[in-house]
């Protein structure tokens, strides 16, 4: 068996291990990020229009619910944006932006309104989220997405809860698509919730650094490339154990650790350093 085929088999094995670890350990964390057991199990507006809840996520915001609502109600590509990773949205072809102020004309949300992509031609996927329920100052429900609910903890703290609605998926392709789509939706929704929190607590005019987001993303994307290269560079048990270990660490950096560049970049530097060490070790062994 050639070295290339062996390396490909090792990569497949590492990927399989990652899928198993994600499915058993991380997926429950991804679908309940920030939410308490009570919040996950509590009844929320809109539960009756979906067969099940695919996720319930929450975040604490240090501000009254009335202040949080002013930012939350601006959600939409043609309004205040989605407060997530703008550079990813633009890379996918969507025309969107994130507002850093409260806009008076965006302070209304009526049943029947459609939140949709501003560019259905360039965008990879065209989305349409009809507003099916609104309780001003408290909640609204988007069909095909889920419920957005504010729960007052006290006069100066609010819980933002987002419950994503599940769909019936009779086909295997649909189930695979959901398995792949869930972590991608989680990454964007987590950033959206953190973006809303930062703007509410920071006030109008708060600008979040897109540079830090890009650096985090680069660390996340380049680290797996380094892990794959390590498989082809390494010899013996090293080509399996080291990449497999780094692969599992990468899962935690991606899904569990805060989306800050320091974690991804540190992992990238360690992986690069290990790759260089394996390369020179391999040459030394050949020379000897």
**Chain mean pLDDT for the chain:** 86
More confident residue, 225 or 239: 225
Q: What is the pTM of this model?
A: 0.87
pLDDT (0 to 100) of residue 118: 61
Tens-place pLDDT, residues 164-173: 998 777 677 7
User: Could you give the C-alpha distances from 125 to 85, 96, 118, in angstroms and in order?
Assistant: 16, 14, 11
**How far is residue 165 CA from its own chain's centroid?**
16
- Domains (range + CATH), the chain: 3-24+213-287 (no CATH), 35-208 (3.30.530.20)
Alpha-carbon dihedral sign for residues 181, 89, 193, 225:
positive
CA separation for the pair 40, 48 (Å, rounded): 16
Return d(Cα 264, Cα 4) in angstroms, integer. Answer: 28
**DSSP 8-state assignment for residue 166:** P
Tell me if 93 sits within 8 A of 103, measured CB to CB: no
């Amino acid at each position: 068996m050639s070295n290339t085929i062996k390396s490909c088999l090792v990569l497949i094995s590492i990927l399989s291990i990652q899928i198993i670890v994600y499915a058993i350990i991380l997926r429950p964390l991804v679908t309940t990020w920030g939410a308490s057991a009570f919040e996950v199990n509590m009844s929320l507006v809109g539960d009756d229009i979906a067969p099940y809840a695919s996720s319930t996520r929450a975040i604490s915001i240090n501000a009254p619910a009335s202040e949080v609502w002013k930012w939350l109600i601006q959600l939409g590509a043609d309004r205040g944006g989605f407060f997530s990773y703008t550079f990813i949205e633009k890379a996918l072809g969507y025309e969107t932006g994130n507002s850093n102020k409260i806009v008076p004309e965006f302070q209304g949300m009526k049943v029947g309104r459609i939140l949709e992509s501003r560019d259905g031609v360039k965008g990879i996927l065209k989305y349409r989220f009809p507003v099916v329920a609104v309780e001003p100052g408290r909640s609204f429900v988007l069909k095909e997405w889920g419920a957005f609910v504010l729960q007052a903890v006290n006069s100066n703290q609010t819980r933002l809860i987002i419950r994503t609605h599940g769909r019936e998926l009779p086909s295997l392709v649909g189930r695979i698509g959901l398995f792949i789509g869930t972590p991608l939706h989680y990454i964007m929704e987590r950033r959206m919730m953190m973006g809303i929190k930062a703007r509410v607590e920071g006030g109008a005019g708060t600008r979040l650094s897109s540079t830090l987001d890009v650096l985090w993303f680069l660390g996340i994307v380049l680290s797996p490339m380094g892990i794959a290269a390590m498989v082809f560079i390494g010899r013996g048990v090293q080509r399996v154990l080291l990449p497999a270990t780094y692969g599992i660490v990468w899962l935690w950096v991606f899904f569990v650790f805060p989306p800050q560049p320091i974690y991804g970049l540190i992992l990238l530097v360690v992986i690069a350093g290990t790759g260089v060490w394996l390369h020179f070790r391999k040459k030394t062994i050949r020379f000897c």
